[in-house]
Each structure stands twice: as C-alpha cells, then as structure tokens.
Structure 1
C-alpha cells in the first residue's frame, strides 16, 4: 500500500482491487462528492489521485449502510407486492411519482420504508378503479396475442382484430412472422401490454419518450433516452461485456442490470439513432 507523509493512502487502482469496484463507478462517486461526502484527494502520486485509506474506508462503510432501508427484495418480503410489479412501478416512475432510492449500492437500490409505504398507499388509492390486469412476469417478455388477452383478462377472440384495427394506445408488435399458410404471428412486449392497460383505463396521457408514438418505434428502446446513454457507454468501452456495461449503467442511472442488458444489446445492434 502507498504511504504519504506516514499515512496509508490508496489510489483508484488500489480501491478498485480492494473493494471490487469499477473505475466508472469510483469516478462517479468522486464527481458527486459535494452531495455524497466523498473524501477529497490528499494530493497526487505521479498522475494519480490518492486518498487516506482509513478515511475512505470509513466513508464507504457509512455510504453503504442500508440497515434502515429496504431493497426491492425487502419490499417484496415485507409487503407481498410481486418483484415484477415493483420493477414495473419503478420503470413508470416518471408518470406515477415513485420515490427515488435513498442509496444505490452496486446494482441494488434501497428506499426509505416510510417514504415508500406512504407513496404506495397513495398510488393504490389512485389506482383503485383500474380493471384487473395480470401483472406477473417480466416486462421484457415476448408474448403472443392470446397471451396478451390473458394478461388483460379478456377473451382471446375479443382482441383478434386489434393488430389490424388497433384501439387507441395499442402497441406495435416487437416481432412478426408469416407462416407457410399466410397467417401472421405476432409477439408483443409484456410491458407494452401493461402500459396499454394503464392508458386504456386513463383514457389518455402517458406520452412515449421524446414525443414518439409506439407505431414509430423502429427497434427496441428507440426514442428512449436510456438508449443514448447505453450507446455512449458502448462507444467509450466497445470491448467491455454487455453484462459489465449494464451493471455500470444501472449504478450510474438507476434501474436494474437486467433491463440495462436489453438496452445495451439494442445499442450494439443499432449504434446510430
């Protein structure tokens, strides 16, 4: 370990190795030191910044103290709300007012139980009038039209004409296939069906990203601001694995590494907007 004036100090490379953190995450923590209390660098060792090892360890331990906070799994265990529902509620935070996490440690977000419970109580009250919808499963799942009907608690025959005569807010399929008999098979993103159910009940609202309608979407996450963040990360680190980039993006911007993996894959397949 490096010493400076008799004090044990650590460089970023040493912090990365000791605490198993990425360079991107460490740089983000230091940039945000005005709000998170990150210790100031003591001086430079050559071209590298160094920090007092004991001071940094104490700060990082305090930063990661989540003993009075709830992760998504904690919320699930405590309230009984499904993990997929909790993920969807977070994904729709811009429209439903979901609280921001108090802390993000690695890929895991943590919320104040008191704040989250108060928000969820109000959210449930505002949604009491909604038609029952099956909110189990992963929002990124591809499902058939018949499965979409089951999600919406509708008879499959009642939505067979939706693809050709779509009602307001009906999403575009993410994939289509024409069989040898000429029949068109379509698959939809489960999350898009959930969003349709919500907008159908509201009778409006819920603008897609950047004013773009779903019928204009050219590929997954087209128009989503997160796609540009993923593209920038891919350009900066083209040889970094999708899983590692997804983890770093989740830590930097919130959300789950699983969702960011889908976004990064779309960014690699469609590097230009």
Structure 2
C-alpha cells in the first residue's frame, strides 16, 4: 500500500460494518484504512493537515479512538481526490513540452517567481488549475524578457547618474526618480552625492551596482522600503468569496462543510477544495465578528 494509491471508488453501504454515535454511522481510523485501502500513516497525515485540506473534524470518540461521520468523511474524500480539470507536473510537461526538471525548478523558486500554489495535493502529487498556471507562465516569460533588457556595455567601475542608471535598466529616466527617497529592494546606495547651489541633489552610482540590482530586482521595482504590508487578519480576509460563504452558512446552518463547499463551487466556480478552506474561515470568523 502506498500513499499515492487513494482509491475513490470505495463505497459506504448498508452492509459496511459500522458502529454508531448519537445515531450517526461512524468509522474509526482503522475502519477508514480498511474501507478506503489507505495506510494509517497517511490518514494521520491527512488529519494533521486539516487546516489546509479541510479534513472533517471527528464526530467524537469510542473507546478513546477518534471516529468520523461516515457520510461526511466519504463526501470530503471524494472532493479531496477529485482532480477533474486539474493538471499534475507530468500533465504540464506533456502539454507544454517543458522538462520535468524545469517545472520542478519553477516550484523551488516560487518565493521569487510567484509560482502559484497547487489547487490540490494528493499524496506527494501536486495539481494545478491549467488556466491559473498558464496565466502565471505567460507573465513569467514576459518578466524574463523584461529582465534581459539591460545595457551591459561600459565599465563596471563607471560612475553614472540616476538618468543613466534608468537607461542601463531599459527604463525611462522619470520612472525611477523616486528610487533614492523610496528605494526598492536591492537598490544600491550612491557612491557620490552632492547638493548644487540651487539645492538639487546630484547622485552618482557605480554601473556595476546597477547591473547587480538588475539581476535581483522584482518586477515593478519591488516594494519600496518602509511601505507597510497589508496583512490579512485571517484566511480570505477581504475576499468577496468569504461573504458568499457566510451567506450560504447563514442560509444552510445544518449543511456539512464539505457539502456546502461543493454547492458553492457549482454556483460560483472554482474547486470544492478551495471553497472548503473559505467555508472554514467563514465559520471561524462570522460576519458579526468583523469590525
């Protein structure tokens, strides 16, 4: 048995051996493993990652063992393993012609290239929405072209003005006039700085330092130093889908989260897995908690 072998065709039937808790049919972890042919270790991993995968909470305990509502767990599992419309790294390779090593490098460098997170991860396999991935890849290619538009002529020790630095970077001089006062990430300090009789500050930069900045800069110059980040107070804070989930919860307070996520996905688009996260956040942060 491997963690990749996650059969979706397991069925909970009237003949399935099962205990009840408060009138609900429930399964413990061993029974889930036997019914769905999943290793205990993988079931434990799925439960540990419930904040990310929307795994249902236990219905309670029997003989000190956690048990889950059989129907709720089955619905969640069907959504969790449904990759309809999504593509794995191998699928992306077959469609785009890019090598697996290149696709793996894109993922390793996601902190700097903004590679999208997978829509779903099953076992060790990640899956992406192809539209989302293609949109990112087109922007990535455009960004790479933008980065190569740098004038590499001249001597690295040359001292150049701010306007000359803009031309080295392939930018218009007016586009970086704010850099000295609000420097983007990796912007170098001037080597020389003097104030003219009219009060104008003249700065000189080492050409090699501008080349170094060109190698590390972020698209758009990066966020200026001192610019505050806008941090979310909780997952999906400010996302209009959170209000849609809150409205659905208010209208259907007894509907299980997994089922509600599936309904929202059908109504508004997106994957049930993503909506499960949104529903979880909406339940943890209801409308009245917002100030």
**Structure of larger gyration radius:** 2
Q: Same fold (TM over 0.5)?
A: no
TM value normalised by structure 1: 0.44
